[in-house]
Structure 1
Amino acid sequence: MQRNDNGLPTKGTTILKLSNVSKNFGAVSALTDIELEVKAGEVVALVGDNGAGKSTLIKVLAGVHQPSSGRIEFCGQEVSLDSPSRALELGIATVFQDLALCENLDVVANLFLGHEMSPWNLDEVAMEVRAWTLLRELAARIPSVREPIASLSGGQRQTVAIARSLLLDPKIIMLDEPTAALGVAQTAEVLNLIERVRERGLGVIIISHNMEDVRAVADRIVVLRLGKNNGVFTPDASNQELVASITGATENAVSRRIGRKTGEQAEHGGSHA
């Protein structure tokens, strides 16, 4: 596999490929024959209604759940993601929605939480320098790496969580609802951060219910419905197409509104003739 100067696969190279991946919990089928491909330097959005299987799929890729059947390839090799540590070891990092940050600790402490013994070995100066370097590379708006997490905004907290996931030099980063409950400015900050992560050559998977955020950063939009693939779209797909694929209904509020507008325009057009 070809790699760039950072040791990452060259842009456009397939990093992750899922073939016919299914996950059953007893008699309940959460995922059925899922196909997914993620390339270097690409943002793939996973969208779908509640219960569509998005979180289960992320947990399979994070090594939390093991698939019942199917094949997972990473950098061209078939792999078994049998634990979260194995997923991390391969280069799959996950930022879950709760972020798992310690509010009473500062930015540096949160970045290195769990990594204190390697290779920084609790060297406060080295850890602080590495923190600043990483945050600068991401153009992060963090006032100080010694600022306690409790005093940071939602967008800044998301930035710290993403920066922490980059410490181990992953090839893919997965973000679960990264802009949920954020204001307009903070959302823009996180979306810019996602673009910078993509520019570093990583593959990015985001789960989001916000179609505008998805359109802003995604290269491809993968729709899951009832645990199955239900379409792959480009960001210029219409809301009508996306909503129809997500809900499984061609007739919905969006399509009705578009139909009314089209009818009104035709009516007004006819009256001017």
Structure 2
Amino acid sequence: MSTTASNVPERGQPILRLRNVSKNFGAVSALTDIELDVKAGEVVALVGDNGAGKSTLVKVLAGVHQPSSGSIEFCGQSVSLDSPGKALELGIATVFQDLALCENLDVVANLFLGHELSPWALDEVAMEVRAWTLLRELAARIPSVREPIASLSGGQRQTVAIARSLLLNPKIIMLDEPTAALGVAQTAEVLNLIERVRDRGLGVIIISHNMEDVRAVADRIVVLRLGRNNGVFTPDASNQELVASITGATENSVSRRIERKTGTAQENSGRPA
């Protein structure tokens, strides 16, 4: 088990391609004709209101749900993600919002949980060395790999969950609300970590409701609305454009605030000095 990604395509090369992917639950259409590209060394943000289909799409890519129709290409090959194990085997790792960490175990035990070296005779020294090596590569602020998870901050726990997924040598990492409920310093720590993961040449998909966090790290912002694609933006897109695409309404609180500021500025410019 190496601490670096293996067989990752060159930066800028496509890793994942979705074409016309739909997912139905009975008569309910959760996703309709979704198209998504993710390249090596790129952070793609999935944004949208509650019920937009973000979580369903991530579960399709994680092998939890199988698409009702459409095609998925991974590294140029058509694939069927028919189970979470198949997704991991291909190189798609997912860090869900609950992180799935064991609070009573230390960092090393959580990193290797289910993937222990020599499971019949645990090589604690080798696991500790590999844990420190990976965490140093990520410049992670973990006080000790023997620290129990229960004593770590939210940002440090997110770091451990991401580091655990990297031990499986993925080509893509999906992060579900990685900065939810974190303070300012912890959020900055996680965003820095996402950038370091991107610098390793991996593709990163993040789901977030926080537009400032999205702007800070994303190379592209993909908007979903009511289970459909509703725009692709660069981080330079205005809040007004993003909110309009997410909500489907050009008239909203952001646009009204901008109009008020514009009107006030024009009034002030027209007044005599």
Query: Do the two structures share a fold, i.e. TM-score over 0.5?
Result: yes
1:266 and 2:262 are equivalent in the alignment:
no
Residue in 1 aligned with 2:190? 190
User: In the alignment, residue 86 of structure 2 is paired with which amino acid?
Assistant: R
Aligned-partner Cα distance in 2 for 1:75–1:118: 31
Residue in 2 aligned with 1:163? 163
Percent of aligned pairs sharing the same letter: 89
Displacement, 1:272?
A: 3.4
Tell me if structure 1 keeps the 8 A contact 2:45–2:222.
yes
SS at match of 1:132: helix
The C-alpha deviation readout for 1:140-162, integer Å capped at 9, x for no partner, is 00000000000000000000000
Aligned-partner Cα distance in 2 for 1:38–1:120: 39
Aligned-partner Cα distance in 2 for 1:118–1:91: 22
Residue in 1 aligned with 2:71? 71
Aligned-partner Cα distance in 1 for 2:121–2:194: 29
Superposed, 1:45-56 pairs within 5 Å as 45-56=45-56
User: In the alignment, residue 140 of structure 1 is paired with which amino acid?
Assistant: A
Displacement, 1:269?
A: 1.1
The C-alpha deviation readout for 1:13-48, integer Å capped at 9, x for no partner, is 000000000000000000000000000000000000
The C-alpha deviation readout for 1:165-224, integer Å capped at 9, x for no partner, is 000110000000000000000000000000000000000000000000000000000000
Displacement, 1:8?
A: 1.4
Displacement, 1:7?
A: 2.9
User: In the alignment, residue 124 of structure 1 is paired with which amino acid?
Assistant: E
Aligned-partner Cα distance in 2 for 1:108–1:161: 11
User: In the alignment, residue 188 of structure 2 is paired with which amino acid?
Assistant: A
Displacement, 1:122?
A: 2.1
The C-alpha deviation readout for 1:46-84, integer Å capped at 9, x for no partner, is 000000000000000000000000000000000000000
Residue in 2 aligned with 1:130? 130
Residue in 2 aligned with 1:87? 87
The alignment yields a C-alpha RMSD, in angstroms, of 1.5
Displacement, 1:235?
A: 0.2
Tell me if structure 2 keeps the 8 A contact 1:191–1:213.
yes
Runs of 5+ consecutive residues of structure 2 not aligned to the other structure: none
Tell me if structure 2 keeps the 8 A contact 1:46–1:205.
yes
Residue in 1 aligned with 2:42? 42
User: In the alignment, residue 159 of structure 1 is paired with which amino acid?
Assistant: T
Aligned-partner Cα distance in 1 for 2:187–2:119: 33
Superposed, 1:1-273 pairs within 5 Å as 7-117=7-117, 122-272=122-272
Normalising by structure 1, report the TM-score.
Answer: 0.96
Displacement, 1:237?
A: 0.4
Tell me if structure 2 keeps the 8 A contact 1:120–1:126.
no
Displacement, 1:118?
A: 6.2
Aligned-partner Cα distance in 2 for 1:272–1:35: 54
Aligned-partner Cα distance in 1 for 2:8–2:171: 7
SS at match of 2:113: coil
User: In the alignment, residue 217 of structure 2 is paired with which amino acid?
Assistant: V
Displacement, 1:119?
A: 8.7
Displacement, 1:6?
A: 5.1
Aligned-partner Cα distance in 2 for 1:45–1:176: 10
Normalising by structure 2, report the TM-score.
Answer: 0.96
Displacement, 1:271?
A: 1.7
How many residue pairs get aligned? The number is 270
Q: 1:111 to 1:237 in 2, by over 3 A?
A: same
Tell me if structure 1 keeps the 8 A contact 2:6–2:169.
no
Q: 1:66 to 1:163 in 2, by over 3 A?
A: same
Displacement, 1:120?
A: 10
Aligned-partner Cα distance in 2 for 1:13–1:141: 31
User: In the alignment, residue 257 of structure 2 is paired with which amino acid?
Assistant: R
Tell me if structure 2 keeps the 8 A contact 1:46–1:208.
yes
Tell me if structure 1 keeps the 8 A contact 2:223–2:230.
yes
User: In the alignment, residue 203 of structure 1 is paired with which amino acid?
Assistant: G
SS at match of 1:272: coil
